[in-house]
Amino acid sequence: MNFTKMHGAGNDYIYINTFEETVDDPAALSVKVSHRHFGVGSDGLVLIGPSDVADFRMRIFNADGSEAQMCGNASRCVAKYVYENGMTAKNPITLETNAGIKTLDMQIEGGKVRAVTVDMGAPVVGELNRPLPDTQYKFTRVSMGNPHCVIFMDEVDSLPLWQIGPPLENHPAFPERTNVEFVRVIDRQAIQMRVWERGSGETLACGTGACASAVACVLNGFCDKDSDILVHLCGGDLVIRWDSAKNTILKTGPAQFVCKGELL
């Protein structure tokens, strides 16, 4: 089975083209290939396939085998993959996900996709900066098709995410578990974020998490709608804008190939 490894701001996945390959058990395959020592090494597995309602369909599986609704970084990589492999000449393209159909607008130079803007849709907001029971934290709940718990901190570099991430991911307030974002506000145009991803642990970037963090910053008065918010992640930067006219979140960032190979 042929595979391609790609990453968006360090958020790396194994991509399989199901137009050409058959994957019988994607959950088990994701666990196998994601292992950093005994597999290829990734944050999960992405299947690129046909869709009856969009140009393409994306299914994404976390490193623990659980299926996710959406991944903003992976969607940009899918756009680069299908365009540069000659599977489409359209721009923008539509992508079916478990969180609905997303529109991907590619920035193309010399036949190569340099960056992709994803229309992530409207956020769904819950509690705003409320105490999280039985913890020392206040949180803002945002869904970008998948659940996020945004926590504002004065400093995030030294946080032991491997210790504090798991109990927050599995907190009773989140019956389907949650992604957890730890955010330091730099100014009205920039924030720093680290993320503990549901089903994968700490990753270098999370596209939906960056969107959720930007939304939380706007709602809590730290940043503004209709303004670019630069999100500094461990693996790179993303630009998030809340378009108030359409009530949608626009996310722009890079996508890069890493390698190709064959799974034995």
Q: Which residues sit opposite 79 in a β-bridge? A: none
Catalytic-residue membership of 206: yes
Q: Is 56 exposed, middle or buried (0-12, 13-18, 19+ CB in 10 A)?
A: buried
Q: Name residues whose C-beta falls within 8 Å of residue 66's C-beta, 6 or more positions apart in sequence.
A: 27, 198, 199
Place of tokens 């307030």: 173
Catalytic-residue membership of 71: yes
User: Contact, 236 vs 192, CB < 8 A?
Assistant: no
Distances (CA, A) of 215 to 11, 122, 181: 21, 10, 12
Whole-number pLDDT of residue 35: 97
Whole-number pLDDT of residue 113: 98
Place of tokens 């944050």: 43
User: Contact, 25 vs 67, CB < 8 A?
Assistant: no
Give domain limits for the chain: 2-119+253-262, 124-246
Whole-number pLDDT of residue 64: 97
Using alpha carbons only, give the angle 211, 231, 207 rounded to the nearest 5 degrees: 40
218, 203, 190: which is closest to 125 by C-alpha?
218
Structure tokens at 72: 């903003």
- Whether CATH 3.10.310.10 fits 2-119+253-262: yes
pLDDT tens, N- to C-terminus, the chain (264 residues): 999 999 999 999 999 999 999 999 999 999 999 999 999 999 999 999 999 999 999 999 999 999 999 999 999 999 999 999 999 999 999 999 999 999 999 999 999 999 999 999 999 999 999 999 999 999 999 999 999 999 999 999 999 999 999 999 999 999 999 999 999 999 999 999 999 999 999 999 999 999 999 999 999 999 999 999 999 999 999 999 999 999 999 999 999 999 999 998
The 10 Å Cβ neighbour count of residue 166 is 14
Which of 77, 149, 206, 211 is an active site residue?
206
5, 9, 6, 4: which is closest to 251 by C-alpha?
9
246, 253, 255: which is closest to 118 by C-alpha?
253
227, 260, 221, 219: which is closest to 243 by C-alpha?
227
The helix (run of H) or strand (run of E) holding residue 193 is: strand 190-197
Asked whether the domain spanning 124-246 has the same topology as the one spanning 2-119+253-262, the reply is yes
- The CATH class of the 124-246 domain is alpha beta
> Does the model's pTM come out above 0.85?
yes
